[in-house]
Homo-oligomer: A and B are copies of this chain.
């Protein structure tokens, strides 16, 4: 896999020139990760930024009871990780590869210097953080105020917008997702999530053909009614 050309595809760096990309390349190291492996965790923190080049990574926190809450699922081109001054996850977050994955590990000290010399990149990072904050605000509002049906419907719509393709009236969610995964994102249990999804399937709001698909028009109408 050609690391340099891959880096240029990462949204954070898409505006950089060739030689600037080469600088990033020098301060980073590409590494393959097996499905299921935990990349960083509170127990084994790594002060670095990770660029997700290929695959799917789940960021989750764990309860004192061992229950998990998934704060985000990342796909190609996204960033995560934590350093002393930049933090795209947090010190209590586990990052787990949901599929076989390639990540680029960036040396922090060098990167912070790089940012000081490239304010555009800093603005881009601010932008990425801003968006993640918004999404997190939005999701926690749903979890705080809405019932599980609503939360699941909202999540599926959001995912289909972020990671989906349109197929007539159906919008796919191009992600590997079990019912437990969904439950962990909306703060519910596998069982109630299964029940809710079953009823959605009966109502023709979602269907499973390989990936999960959602009838966005119908879903939006129901979100308004609930």
Residue positions of A touching B, CB distance < 8 A: 61, 63-65, 67, 69, 71, 85-93, 112, 115-117, 119-120, 122-123, 125-127, 129-134, 136-141, 143-146, 186-187, 224
Say whether A144 contacts B85, CB under 8 Å: no
* A42 to B187 alpha-carbon distance, docked (Å): 27
CA distance A88 to B224 in the complex (A): 27
Whole-angstrom CA separation of A139 from B173 in the bound complex: 27
Asked if residues B127 and A85 are in contact (CB atoms below 8 Å), the reply is yes
Contact of A69 among B92, B116, B129, B140 (CB under 8 A): B140
Q: Which of A90, A116, A130 has the most CB of B within 10 A?
A: A130
Given contacts A119-B119, A122-B119, A127-B85, A140 and B90 within 8 Å (CB-CB): no
* C-alpha spacing A139/B144, complex, angstroms: 10
| B187 and A137 form a contact (CB under 8 A) | no
**Other A-B pairs, 19, CB within 8 Å; known A63-B146, A90-B138:** A63-B141, A64-B224, A67-B145, A85-B126, A85-B127, A87-B130, A87-B134, A90-B133, A92-B137, A112-B123, A115-B122, A115-B123, A116-B123, A126-B126, A129-B129, A132-B133, A140-B143, A140-B187, A145-B187
Q: Is A116 a contact of B120 with CB atoms below 8 Å? A: yes
**Known A61-B141, A122-B115; contact A131-B87, beta-carbon cutoff 8 A:** yes
Q: Once bound together, how far apart are the Cα atoms of A101 and B129, in whole Å?
A: 28
Contact status of A140 and B71, CB under 8 A, knowing A119-B115, A122-B126, A123-B122: yes
Q: Which residues of B contact A146 (CB under 8 A)?
A: 63
Which residues of chain B come closer than 8 Å to A130, judged between CB atoms?
Answer: 85-88, 129
The docked-state distance in angstroms from the alpha carbon of A160 to that of B53 is 41
